[in-house]
């Protein structure tokens, strides 16, 4: 399991809605919207505490 760096949701790598590579690391996302947000500004999310489902619904 991984943690979506945008929203904080636990994500099964095999069932992730999307993934991104950044600085040699793979990040997994619960939804495409989280990937889009991450890809726009990865430094905003790397090493930060996620916002726990603030901007989207599952």
Instruction: Tell me what pLDDT residue 35 has.
Output: 98
pLDDT tens for residues 5-49? 999 999 999 999 999 999 999 999 999 999 999 999 999 999 766
Q: How far is CA 49 from the centre of its chain?
A: 11
The answer, yes or no, to whether residue 53 has pLDDT greater than 80, is no
Tokens 């979506």 locate to 4
Instruction: Tell me what pLDDT residue 31 has.
Output: 96
Residue 33 sits at the vertex; the CA angle it makes with 13 and 15, to the nearest 5 degrees, is 20
Confidence bin at 1 (pLDDT 50/70/90): very high
């Amino acid at each position: 399991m991984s943690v979506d760096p945008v929203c904080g949701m636990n994500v099964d790598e095999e069932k992730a809605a999307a993934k991104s590579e950044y600085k040699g690391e793979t990040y997994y996302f619960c939804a495409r919207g989280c990937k889009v947000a991450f890809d726009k500004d990865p430094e905003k999310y790397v090493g930060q505490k996620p916002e726990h489902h603030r901007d989207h619904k599952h």
